Amino acid sequence: MGKICLGIDIGGTTIKIGLVTKDGDLQGKWEIHTDKSENGKNILSDIANKVTLILQEKNLSKDDVIGIGLGVPGPVDDAGNVLGCVNLGWGEFNVADELSKITGLKVKAGNDANVAALGEMWQGGATGRQDVVMLTLGTGVGGGVIVGGKVLGGINGAAGELGHFTMKIGPDAEKCGCGKKGCLETLASATGIVRETNKYLSRVDTPSSLRKIDNISAKNIFDEAKEGDKIAIDMVEQLGEYLGLACSYIAATTNPETFVIGGGVSKAGNILLDVIRKHFRENAFHALKNTGFSLATLGNDAGMIGAAKLIIE
Amino acid sequence: MGKICLGIDIGGTTIKIGLVTKDGDLQGKWEIHTDKSENGKNILSDIANKVTLILQEKNLSKDDVIGIGLGVPGPVDDAGNVLGCVNLGWGEFNVADELSKITGLKVKAGNDANVAALGEMWQGGATGRQDVVMLTLGTGVGGGVIVGGKVLGGINGAAGELGHFTMKIGPDAEKCGCGKKGCLETLASATGIVRETNKYLSRVDTPSSLRKIDNISAKNIFDEAKEGDKIAIDMVEQLGEYLGLACSYIAATTNPETFVIGGGVSKAGNILLDVIRKHFRENAFHALKNTGFSLATLGNDAGMIGAAKLIIE
């Protein structure tokens, strides 16, 4: 009987591999480069080689390992079929079966945002909850929906694509990487917040401390809002409107106990939670107004820990 | 071992009671008046009395009955706790336990819209599917979300409150019965469609066959749109925009196989499905564009049949 899991989070730049106990304790972590050449055909063998080295380093045999949980940046169905990962160059194939074949270990796979949500539920910002929705505000906007402690995958692995809610319609809506316009991701990702702010600064004459900063970042905007800058406050308010409204739609659909907000943008802290909660409550059905909001706490480890949880279930 | 179920659908005016086989065959149906006097305190005893009469009439003993499934017009949690039914005058109590005590039968309760969705999944417009979202466009707009063949209730029974998505913001947003403004229900219920049309007719001078009709109904609007009336077509288009956009949010959250559209408004038929599908596809994330849309087929029987399914599960 195994005693430890491997939780693996495949990203577009690096692959994170964690050794995770049954209790969710991250006992070690490693990183390898994501080789996207030749449509990412080396990714799984690179992972298998690294896993072999890690087990050797830790004096573990394959019998000690419960299995591998894998987070993949794209839709994955319950059987482990990847339905195309644009970032990695992957088409359609069964990633769980494939990795299991070359490692000799049991493998379960899930979408990376869903897996991060599972990690936060298990060991992070939503510990002890079973009905959780996570929104990851980073370069893009990812989502993970957990119902009764299980990731909701949907009929073709596209549940939780919360970054692709159309939140802005009209000529001012920006094109999203997904091909649509006005997605939440174009408004609430780190890049989206910055773009919206630059657009606003060029449209109005209002003085702002932001005008003195070259290459404004999302962090600058929150920092200046905390200092009382009018434009920065308006932009944080606008961000809260989009996110609060989107969360009200999600809550009226699945009625979670709590939302967890993660990703780089969430480092802004309570100013972000407060503004999302305020606009959420304005738009939420009365029975949903007390839905919780908390910050993610696992940072970049959420994917590894959540992936391990996939295999423990 | 029981062989038959009672499926009961409590509405604000009548209570529908059906005798349903394990295979979902509705073998008989009865109606009693909903006595809302004294905060609806007689409702459960009225049901118990009628159930006794029905069993006598059909020569059935209590041993023949698997149990009672109950659809209630308000949020109900998995344990059978009603969290307030404004329409009936009910506060918070365990309706399943209460009805079980006075009938001596096993009882399971669910929200009426969720239960109708279960009925359509089992025997109606989504037969054979396991991941289904139903939207009921009637006097109000109700919703039911089914995941893996089970109703998604949420942490306090308010999952599937799809009629209360805020879809219109600003001075033109109408007040909803729930206390908010601009809910989908104010735009896509039978009364909402009519109100929006009357507002539009009074705002513009465009000639329209609708101007000759006293007390325009939702049916008139669809009928005139089918005949080519410009204003009626615009109103159907606007309805499709709101519903298509709302469905795109739901799909990006739970990724169902199909949407089922029911309620009085759905009698408009394919013209309604087509316009919803068109706007859904404009707004849906690429992996979700092929989500199905179908019409409900059970009409007013969906609640009884779905309630019976609650107890069979």
Per-residue pLDDT reduced to its tens digit, B35-57: 999 999 999 999 999 999 999 99
Report the alpha-carbon distance of residue A139 to residue A141 in Å, rounded: 7
State whether A83 and A153 are in the same domain: no
Are B110 and B118 spatial neighbours (Cβ–Cβ below 8 Å)?
yes
Question: Same domain, yes or no, for A292 and A145?
Answer: yes
Residue pair A301/A17 in contact by the 8 Å Cβ criterion? no
Is the domain of B227 the same as that of B205?
Answer: yes
* Chain B: closest CA distance from residue A161 (Å): 5
Judge if A74 and A174 occupy the same domain. no
Is the CB of B180 inside 8 Å of chain A's CB atoms?
yes
> B152: which chain A residues are within 8 Å (Cβ-Cβ)?
147, 254-255
Burial of A240 (0-12, 13-18, 19+ CB in 10 A): buried
A87, amino acid identity = N
Distance of CA B174 to the CA centre of its chain: 21
* Shared-domain flag, residues B206 and B116: no
> Taking residues A111-130, what's their average pLDDT?
95
Judgement on whether residues B47 and B76 belong to the same structural domain of the protein? yes
Domain span including residue B168:
128-297
Helices (H), chain A: 37-40, 43-57, 95-103, 112-123, 184-188, 190-203, 218-226, 230-254, 270-283, 302-312
Reply yes or no on whether the pLDDT at A313 is more than 80. Answer: no
Query: Residue A87: which of A156, A47, A35, A51 has the closest Cα?
Result: A35
Are B165 and A252 a contacting pair at CB < 8 A?
yes
Are B113 and B168 members of one domain? no
Quick one: pLDDT band at residue A1, thresholds 50, 70, 90?
low
Closest chain B residue to A250 measured between Cα atoms? B253
In chain A, residues with a C-beta closer than 8 Å to the C-beta of B160 are 252-253, 255
Query: What φ, ψ does residue A71 adopt, rounded to 5°?
Result: -100, 130
Tens-digit pLDDT profile for residues A167-217: 999 999 999 988 999 999 999 999 999 999 999 999 999 999 999 999 999
Q: What is the CATH number of the domain that holds A56?
A: 3.30.420.40
Residues A58-105: tens digit of each pLDDT? 999 999 999 999 999 888 888 999 987 877 999 999 999 999 999 999
Same domain as A106, residue A188: no
> Which pLDDT does position B77 carry in this prediction?
87
Structural domain total, chain B: 2
Average pLDDT, chain A: 95
Name which of B141, B145, B155 to mutate to probe chain A: the one with the most chain A Cβ atoms within 10 A of its Cβ: B155
Nearest-angstrom CA–CA distance, B49 and B271: 44
B22-58 exposure pattern, b = at least 16 Cβ within 10 A, e = fewer? eebebeebbebebebeeebeebbeebbebbeebbeee
pLDDT at A122 over 80: yes
Mean pLDDT for chain B overall: 95
Residue with tokens 């073998």: B27
Residues A195 and A81 in one domain: no
Q: Does residue A158 belong to the interface with chain B, where contact is any CB pair within 8 Å?
A: yes
Asked if B192 and B159 sit in the same domain, the reply is yes
Q: How far apart are CA A58 and CA A51, in angstroms?
A: 11
What's the confidence (pLDDT) of residue A2? 81
Name the 3-class secondary structure at B6: strand
Whether A301 has a pLDDT exceeding 80, the answer reads yes
Q: A254 vs B180: CB contact, 8 Å cut-off?
A: no
Q: Are residues B134 and B228 in the same domain?
A: yes
Buried b (16+ CB within 10 A) or exposed e, A54-87: bbeeeebeeeebbbbbbbbbbbbbbebbbbebeb
Q: Does A75 touch chain B (CB under 8 A)?
A: yes
Interval A27-54: pLDDT, tens: 999 999 999 999 999 999 999 999 999 9
Give dist(CA A136, CA B223) in Å, integer: 46
Arithmetic mean of pLDDT, A289-302: 96
State ipTM.
Answer: 0.92
Give the mean model confidence (pLDDT) for residues A278-294: 96
Residue ranges in chain B modelled with pLDDT below 70: 1
Same domain? For B135 and B101 the reply is no
